[in-house]
Amino acid sequence: MPGALALVLAAALTSLPPLPQRGLALETKAGVELQSLDGPPLATLRGLDLAPDQALAHKAVFRDGRGRLFVLAGGRLRRAPLRRGCRATDVQLTVCPRAIRGAAGVLARAPQAVGHWVWAERSPSGNAVLAQWSAECEVPVAYLIAKGKLRAYGAETVALGWLPTGEAVVHFRPLGCVGSGRRGIYAVPRKGKPRLLLRTARFAQYLMWGG
């Protein structure tokens, strides 16, 4: 089985079809399904799962059954190192469990006593940051960081990335009584109503590449 898995991964590394500049990665029983932003499948990476704990700006990170990491960027899949503790997740952006730092110092501290920051990505204009917080019981909460202030998108929200328009891409996935009631992947402007990009199943897990 390990040999067969290695062959599958080797094929995935060399035979990806042409991919759009940005898209979604959905975890399935068959592997990671690559999709366009509006949902149609493009390819399936068998033997891989999402690795949200290793998320990076503009890239989707996956993990195989042996714990090895792979990153999808620029239409190619390649090996990636495991990073623990404080991680550089975007240009001049370092994410530590209890603080997010930029070139000029701390941009955001822990919003709650229990939990940790997972990753963060700068907006296309550079004047805001989209960040992922893992709260008590590992409840995901996506945050917008702008002008020194934190704004939560709501409980059970997952930060995926940015669109060139400056809209944040956020997955609303209410699994209990603490969610907003909204479900799906939305483009969320700084002002105005969120725009639905893709309806999602209740337990679906996604990452995004590009942005």
Question: Could you state, in order of their start, the residue ranges of all structural domains in the chain?
Answer: 2-80, 87-209
Query: Which amino acid is present at 22?
Result: R
Rounded Cα distance between 179 and 204, Å, is 15
CA-nearest of 145, 153, 119 to 134 is 119
Rounded Cα distance between 158 and 95, Å, is 16
C-alpha neighbours within 13 Å on the C-beta side of residue 83: 22
In tens digits, the chain (211 residues) has pLDDT values of 455 555 455 555 556 889 999 999 999 999 999 999 987 899 999 999 999 999 999 999 999 999 999 999 888 899 999 999 999 999 999 999 999 999 999 999 999 999 999 999 999 999 999 999 999 999 999 999 999 999 999 999 999 999 999 999 999 998 765 555 789 999 999 999 999 999 999 899 999 999 7
CA angle 66, 90, 151 (to 5 degrees): 105
Which CATH superfamily includes the segment(s) 87-209? Tricorn protease N-terminal domain (2.120.10.60)
- Give the three-class secondary structure for 138: helix
Rounded Cα distance between 125 and 166, Å, is 7
